[in-house]
Structures are given as C-alpha cells and as structure tokens.
C-alpha cells in the first residue's frame, strides 16, 4: 500500500480526531500502526491532544545502547472527542447490552472497521454482536465483523464494551 493523497488525507482527519494509530491503521487497511505512526511523524502531525507526550527520547543510537532516562511531563490541553455509539438502545427495554446499562457519558471514540449490515438471524458465534441503531427501527443491524474468541464482540467493540482503553482516566 502506498500513501495516496486520499489515504494521507484520511490519515490526517482521523489523527486529528484523536483516533489511535492502530485504529487508523485498521481503517486505512493494509498498513500497520507503525506505518501510521511513522507517516504521522513524517507529516509532522504528532502532538495531539494527549496520549504519550514526547519525553524527548534518545535511544538505540547504535547497538551500543546508552540507557538514559529523562522524565518530563508536559500537560497539554484536554481533548474532547464526542462520539456516540449505538446507545440509543437504552430508551427501550432492550437490555442485552453491557454498555447500554453502563453509563453513556464517557464512551471513548472508537471506529469500527467496516460494520456489515447483519440481521439478527445472520449472526453466528464468530460474528460481532454489537448492535447498531435503534432495535425498534428498521435499519437496526449488527456489526457482524469477526468476533474475538473471548467475547461476543469484535476487537473494536470489545473495547467499547469493556474498559474503554487506557485513556479513560481523564473521562470523568
């Protein structure tokens, strides 16, 4: 995969929206998160809302290795990303969602890969059972992407459902 203008543009967009490198990589497809990070740096797009601020590293010069530790914590502006998930299900008696009965507030931004439009009957043990939309509506469907062996959701919805990433610390 090469970095076409369109792909770079999408990268810029998603990065500015606060998505993680791995998430962006998943969206772009055909690239690793390292590739995304590398590209971000080349584009000089680093420094975003938060995450791992640059502690001014200096390693790996050449096998020699000079272990040097410098800690500098720079506080940056808070980032606000508002992404609503299919929490509309709350309104109904529908209660098959751990997330739904959670608290809707802090949900982090998560972008699902593709989201197939699957109907209930089309779900199998291997399909993500994350619901999208209002169950009472006709456009209600399930994510349907490959679910992890450890749960009913795909990798991405799993992190929405359980422990919203390691960034939620500043959520509330």
**154 pairs with which residues across the strands?**
147
C-alpha 58/C-alpha 64 separation (Å) is 12
Contact residue for DNA among 6, 71, 80, 138 (CB under 7 A): 71
Question: Cβ of residue 101: shortest distance to DNA, in angstroms?
Answer: 24
C-alpha 31/C-alpha 168 separation (Å) is 26
40 lies in the site for DNA, by CB under 7 A: yes
79 lies in the site for DNA, by CB under 7 A: no
109 lies in the site for DNA, by CB under 7 A: no
Contact residue for DNA among 10, 17, 37, 116 (CB under 7 A): 37
Whole-angstrom Cα Rg for the chain = 19
Taking CB under 7 A as the binding criterion, the range among 41-49, 79-87, 95-103, 111-119 that sits at the site for DNA is 41-49
Q: Is 131 helix (H, G, I), strand (E, B) or coil?
A: strand
80 lies in the site for DNA, by CB under 7 A: no
69 lies in the site for DNA, by CB under 7 A: yes
Structure tokens at 73: 């914590």
46 lies in the site for DNA, by CB under 7 A: yes
Question: Cβ of residue 163: shortest distance to DNA, in angstroms?
Answer: 9
CA nearest neighbour of 57 among 48, 46, 165: 46
Query: Which region holds residue 60: left if phi is over 0, alpha if psi is between -120 and 50, else beta?
Result: left
33 lies in the site for DNA, by CB under 7 A: yes
Q: What phi, psi does 132 have (nearest 5°)?
A: -120, 130
169 lies in the site for DNA, by CB under 7 A: yes
Contacts of 54 (CB under 8 A, 6+ apart): 46, 47
172 lies in the site for DNA, by CB under 7 A: no
- Judged by beta carbon, residue 140 or residue 156, the one nearer DNA is 156
Residues within the interface to DNA (CB under 7 A): 1-3, 19-23, 31-35, 37-42, 46-47, 51-62, 65, 67-69, 71, 155, 165-166, 169
């Amino acid at each position: 995969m090469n970095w076409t203008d369109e792909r770079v543009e999408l990268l810029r967009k998603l990065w500015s929206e606060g998505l993680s490198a791995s998430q962006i990589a998943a969206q772009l497809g055909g690239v690793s998160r390292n590739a995304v990070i590398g590209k971000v740096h080349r584009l000089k797009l680093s420094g975003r809302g938060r995450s791992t601020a640059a502690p001014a590293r200096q390693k790996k010069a050449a096998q020699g290795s000079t272990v040097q530790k410098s800690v500098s914590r720079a506080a940056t502006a808070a980032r606000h990303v508002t992404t609503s998930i299919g929490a509309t299900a709350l309104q109904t008696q529908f209660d098959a969602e751990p997330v739904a009965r959670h608290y809707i507030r802090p949900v982090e931004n998560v972008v699902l890969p593709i989201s197939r439009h699957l109907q209930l009957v089309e779900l199998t043990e291997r399909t993500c059972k994350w619901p999208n939309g209002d169950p009472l509506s006709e456009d209600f469907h399930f994510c349907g992407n490959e679910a992890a062996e450890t749960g009913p959701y795909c990798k991405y919805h799993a992190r929405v459902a359980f422990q919203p990433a390691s960034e939620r610390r500043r959520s509330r």
